[in-house]
Amino acid sequence: MINETTSTQQKLVVKLEENAMDSLVHGVEHHLHGRRNTDWKYVILHVFHAVELFLKARLAKHNESLIYRKNGNTVGTDEAIDLLVKEAKLLFFQYAERQESGKYKLGGALDALRKARNSIEHKEVALNPDEVKEFLAAAFVFLDNFVAEELGLSLKTELDKLDEAREEELAENGIEIDDLESQSTYRTLSMAYLFYIQHMRTEGIPISDPKEKWIDYHYFTCEMCDEEAIAVPDPTAKYPRVAHCFNCIAEYGVHYCPRCDEPYVSFLREWEKEMNLSSYPDWVKSIDNEADSFCELCSDWIDDQ
């Protein structure tokens, strides 16, 4: 929130963050309600614009003067990446690619998103909903961590605020949304990432590094929302024994049956605005867990013996 005591630098950062959130919401709206190829294009344009603005917000947080070129225009995405690596000393891992010149540019899955944006801007491009989901997933997995770690914001909390404001605005105009949760911006992005995991598994392509051995995922139904939207191992989890529902964001503990070595999950907690990492039980931080018991199938087999 901007007030009279907020510095010029803080105002700039907040403005960039707010504009980025707006772009993300508009992109998802085109994804949810779009039916034409032009809608898919706008998803890409808005979502990449959000990525670009969040990068500039982080750069402005470090030094507001760095986001401007000598001619007064703001820097592009590659320039922002290069400055964030060299000046702000950020480690982007798979998102920054070092060139022969020594400069860094946008890399990895986000570069594919940028190339799609460029193609849309300069020529006719045919997109389908599945391709759009993949681009949404690429943006989501980057932004969900980047916004929290580098800007101190919860992407879900901020997007939920915008969704609620949109619902109120529609209600004032006599328009009701039957199921706001199904049209949640954060949920849409999260489920796009689950789709991406499943798609990459089908194609036999590892998510993070093509050189890595493929990880076999197991899927479970969430007891809170009844959706099969829990993936184990969870590529977004901070601890090896934690997984979450990509639909309702409820969290689960991951256990491994000592007889068959197959994973199973147990409910930990629903999503809260302030998720305190210290509130996790100690066993979720370790691969080994003495509390693991037999899975349901093995328990039934043992009972029958």
Do 62 and 131 meet the contact criterion of CB atoms below 8 Å apart? Answer: no
Question: Distance (Å, rounded) from C-alpha 11 to C-alpha 222?
Answer: 41
**Domain identity same for 148 and 249:** no
- Contact by Cβ (8 Å): 87, 61: no
Indicate if 14 and 120 belong to the same structural domain: yes
Residues 32 and 132 in one domain: yes
Q: For residues 137 and 282, state if they share a domain.
A: no
Do 141 and 40 fall into the same domain?
yes
pLDDT tens, residue by residue, 203-218: 766 665 544 455 688 9
Quick one: which of 93, 136, 91 has its CA closest to 116?
Answer: 136
In this structure, are 14 and 92 located in the same domain? yes
Give the pLDDT confidence of 7-55 residue by residue, as tens digits.
Answer: 899 999 999 999 999 999 999 999 988 777 788 899 999 999 999 999 9
- Looking at 172, 205, 226, which one is the last position of a domain? 172
Most confident of 210-219, 236-245, 267-276: 236-245
Q: How far apart are CA 178 and CA 175, in angstroms?
A: 10
Q: Are residues 92 and 233 in the same domain?
A: no
Q: What is the pLDDT of residues 52-106, one digit of tens each?
A: 999 999 999 999 999 999 898 999 999 999 999 999 999 887 788 999 999 999 9
Tens digit of pLDDT for each residue in 121-135? 877 667 788 888 989
Count of domains for the chain: 2
Q: Does one domain contain both 229 and 168?
A: no
Do 168 and 220 fall within a single domain?
A: no
The helix or strand, by DSSP H or E, that contains position 136, with its residue range, turns out to be helix 129-151
